[in-house]
Amino acid sequence: MPADPSVLDQVQEAVELTEQGKYLEAQGKYEGILCQSNLTEDEKVAIQKGYEELNMKLIFSRIETPNSFFHQVQPGESLYKIAKKYAVTIDLLRKSNSLTSDVIHPEMKLKVQKGVFSVQVDKSDNILILLLDEKPIKHYPVATGRDNRTPIGEFEIKNKLVNPTWFHAGTVVPPESPENILGTRWLGFDYQGYGIHGTTQPDSIGKQATSGCIRMHNHDVEEIYSILPRGTKVIIAD
């Protein structure tokens, strides 16, 4: 059955608002559409995709949102000091302010996220959900542990690595080795040996295929790596 004409009109309006750079208005429009009960499953998927793409544009733009503010750089401050002060990542400061280097100057105004990011993982659907102040902003397909090896509960991201070395079965597998299955990023939990990482086996995504970790496409794990600071809460449920 085709979509309700009124729904199509609303979606088109949301698209046009996005194209005009009116991201906050478009976001509100999408949220209103997604609350409607007359949507088919296919419509929900398509609309959700547009909504999530817009959410990420807002996060990585200089547009001020209810979850962000502008910090005026003070003498002696660095990106590292500002990131540490507000518990955000340097990557996110760079991307949301279109910085091409880490050089900043007094009086510059930098967009800073004040909202709290967290992650939920649904093992039954192999889905990871990125949340901002408890509000879902993007869903990612993942692989979880075979034979129910992924632990459930609440964890915390304790360490982060770019191009991680894989310590496996008493061997050290360097990042450049084709036998290193960890992909391009590692976000380790406060539960030794477990974490979220990329993959050299993209066909496994969407399946219960790992030894217990959460496995993502490399482009997806690189995106959340740039957003999530150490200390981020991760909740895993069956």
Q: What is the CATH number of the domain that holds 85?
A: 3.10.350.10
190 and 82 within one domain: no
**Is 35 considered catalytic here?**
no
Q: What is the CATH number of the domain that holds 165?
A: 2.40.440.10
157 and 97 within one domain: no
152 and 47 within one domain: no
Q: Given this model, what pLDDT does residue 54 score?
A: 98
Q: Given this model, what pLDDT does residue 184 score?
A: 97
Q: Given this model, what pLDDT does residue 94 score?
A: 98
Q: Given this model, what pLDDT does residue 5 score?
A: 63
Phi, psi of 109 (to 5 degrees): -110, 120
Q: Given this model, what pLDDT does residue 170 score?
A: 87
162 and 122 within one domain: yes
186 and 108 within one domain: no
Domain ranges, residue 155: 117-237
Predicted TM-score (pTM) above 0.85: yes
Beta strand spans in the chain (E): 68-72, 109-113, 117-122, 127-132, 135-141, 144-145, 153-162, 166-168, 171-173, 185-189, 195-197, 208-210, 214-215, 233-237
**Is 168 considered catalytic here?**
no
Return all residues near 157 (Cβ < 8 A) that are at least 6 apart: 187, 188, 189, 190, 195, 196, 228, 229, 230, 231, 232, 234
Taking the chain (238 residues) in consecutive chunks of 10 residues, what is each chunk's mean pLDDT? 72 96 96 93 95 98 96 98 98 98 97 97 98 98 97 98 92 92 97 96 97 97 98 98
Strands laid side by side in the 185-189 sheet: 135-141, 127-132, 117-122, 233-237, 153-162, 185-189, 195-197, 214-215
Query: Which of 19, 41, 59 delimits the end of a domain?
Result: 59
Q: Given this model, what pLDDT does residue 2 score?
A: 47
- Rg, C-alpha atoms of the chain: 20
Alpha carbons 175 and 222: distance in angstroms, whole number:
15
Split into its structural domains, the chain has a count of 3
Catalytic residue chosen out of the listed positions 71, 197, 217, 219: 197
179 and 161 within one domain: yes
Contact 73, 106 (CB under 8 A): yes
181 and 104 within one domain: no
128 and 211 within one domain: yes
Return the structure tokens found at 85. 């002060």
126 and 201 within one domain: yes
197 and 98 within one domain: no
> What one-letter code names the amino acid at 55?
N
108 and 126 within one domain: no
103 and 204 within one domain: no
